[in-house]
Amino acid sequence: MFFVNFKAVTIRFMKAILPILLFLISQSLAGQSSSGPNDAGTFSNNASVGTVAWSSQGNAITSNDNYAQATVSLGLLGSANTNYLVATNYGFAIPGTAIITGIKVEVEKHYFIILGLLSSVTDNSVRLLKGGAIGGTNNALGAWPSSDAYSTYGGSADLWGRTWSAADINNSGFGVAISTHIAAGLAGLDMDALVDHIRVTIYFNIPVPVKFVDMEGIQLKEKIKLHWSTATESGNSHFIAEKLIPGLNEWKAIDTIPAAGESNAILHYTAFDESPELSNLYRIRQVDKDGQFTFSKTIRVAFDPAAYPLVRIYPNPAGERVMISSVYPVTRVELTDFRGQMVRQIRLPGTNSQAELMLGRLPNGIYSLLIGTKDHQYVQKLIVEK
């Protein structure tokens, strides 16, 4: 008989799929950036808390088994808090527009006790420095390990009870302050708190100057109407609606719209193409106050002249004359017969969208009427019937 070990298959399946799941999770968090972990450049002892000072503070710069240490000998049931071991000057260069979202501190540490009985070393206070001042949330954890290991304080979404700018993080006065609690229990001689390394990672988001929500284009009579919305704007100056010129592979500005500049609300914008082609490609150029720019997605919008005649001729059939009405100013009118020979022609200055063409002495028949404007020309069938 053939037996399947479902438990083993399940374990192998989970081991196979776990890396994929972790990858997908990391991609979903890709909008958040990080810097570090960085090592401190300056170390000191701060006596604003506790009574036991730290010596050799600079040994905590790297993980190399050289330790910053606080040592105390205590009697029965005695206890003491250490001063703050302060690490600053982390050398971050976070972009000035960044929004700080989290701060992670990792401390490699352990304790050492001679003749300890029910003795312990635990965190007393773990805080951050902002501009050289210790404050914010106390993120102290529990007992220290007896051999070197990293403990993690804070994280990608923890601001330690304070507000932070990129300048605060980049400042040499940004750092970490650690104080421990040492308890002797029934006995404790030469009790040491030892720190080998303190490193910091900063998490942040770079706000996009403009977040486009949607963009669409529709034919509105003789024009194309473009509509787009933004969810956020930061340092935004204006929008330029652009159209791809057929055959030239060049983008032409067709409208410029002022932007709100700073907004966290949904805002709506509209631009128009006054001279659309049958098929049109559009995009929106978003321009910042400093001249930097980004683009929206590109959309294609079709234009159907039949949906809204740009040129009308009347009457049709016509007798002695035909009237021409155009959306755009008319520059020329040409009438050709069935053989393609021009039988009537007029030139106009392009200042009027109305024109009149006299048809006297033309024989009855079917003619082709061309109406020209500055950028377009239209051809329509004209019946002459007297």
Q: Identify the H or E element spanning 373.
A: strand 365-373
Distance CA 274, CA 277 (A): 10
Candidate from 66-70, 77-81, 210-214, 334-338 with smallest mean pLDDT: 210-214
Helices (H), the chain: 6-28, 166-170
128: pLDDT strictly greater than 80? yes
320 closest CA partner among 282, 352, 353, 364: 364
Whole-model pTM: value is 0.53
What is the DSSP code string of 205-241?
A: E---SEEEEEEEEEEETTEEEEEEEEEEEESEEEEEE
Distance CA 326, CA 225 (A): 20
One of 2.60.40.3080, 1.10.3720.10, 3.40.640.10, 3.40.190.10 is the CATH number of 309-384, namely: 2.60.40.3080
204 closest CA partner among 329, 288, 94: 94
When pLDDT is cut at 50, 70 and 90, the band that residue 25 belongs to is: very low
Give me the mean pLDDT over the 135-146 stretch: 94
90: pLDDT strictly greater than 70? yes
Contacts of 370 by beta carbon, 8 Å cutoff, 6+ apart: 332, 333, 334, 335, 336, 377, 378, 379
Q: Where in the chain are all domains bearing CATH 2.60.40.10?
A: 210-305
When pLDDT is cut at 50, 70 and 90, the band that residue 270 belongs to is: very high
Read off the pLDDT of residues 305-327 as tens digits, 9 standing for 90 and up: 777 777 889 999 999 999 998 88
CB 357 within 8 A of CB 335: yes
One of 3.20.20, 1.10.1740, 2.60.40, 2.60.120 is the CATH number of 32-205, namely: 2.60.120
When pLDDT is cut at 50, 70 and 90, the band that residue 19 belongs to is: very low
Residue burial 263-275, b: 16+ Cβ < 10 Å; e: rest: eeeebebebebeb
Q: What is the pLDDT of residue 214?
A: 85
When pLDDT is cut at 50, 70 and 90, the band that residue 83 belongs to is: very high
Please give the structure tokens belonging to residue 323: 């009237």
- How much is the mean pLDDT over the chain? 86
Read off the pLDDT of residues 279-291 as tens digits, 9 standing for 90 and up: 999 999 989 888 8
Distance CA 126, CA 82 (A): 12
Q: Where in the chain are all domains bearing CATH 2.60.120?
A: 32-205
Distance CA 56, CA 43 (A): 9
Contacts of 361 by beta carbon, 8 Å cutoff, 6+ apart: none
Read off the pLDDT of residues 173-229 as tens digits, 9 standing for 90 and up: 999 999 999 988 765 567 889 999 999 999 988 766 677 888 999 998 888 999 999
13: pLDDT strictly greater than 70? no
Comparison of pLDDT for 262 and 366, the residue scoring more: 366
Comparison of pLDDT for 135 and 212, the residue scoring more: 135
When pLDDT is cut at 50, 70 and 90, the band that residue 373 belongs to is: confident
132: pLDDT strictly greater than 80? yes
Q: What is the pLDDT of residue 261?
A: 82
User: Is 3.90.1150.10 the CATH classification of the domain at 210-305?
Assistant: no
Percent above pLDDT 90 for the chain: 58
Q: What is the pLDDT of residue 246?
A: 77
Q: What is the pLDDT of residue 38?
A: 96
CB 181 within 8 A of CB 123: yes
Q: What is the pLDDT of residue 209?
A: 64
Q: What is the pLDDT of residue 115?
A: 65
196 closest CA partner among 87, 91, 103, 37: 87
24: pLDDT strictly greater than 80? no
Candidate from 7-16, 41-50, 101-110, 325-334 with smallest mean pLDDT: 7-16
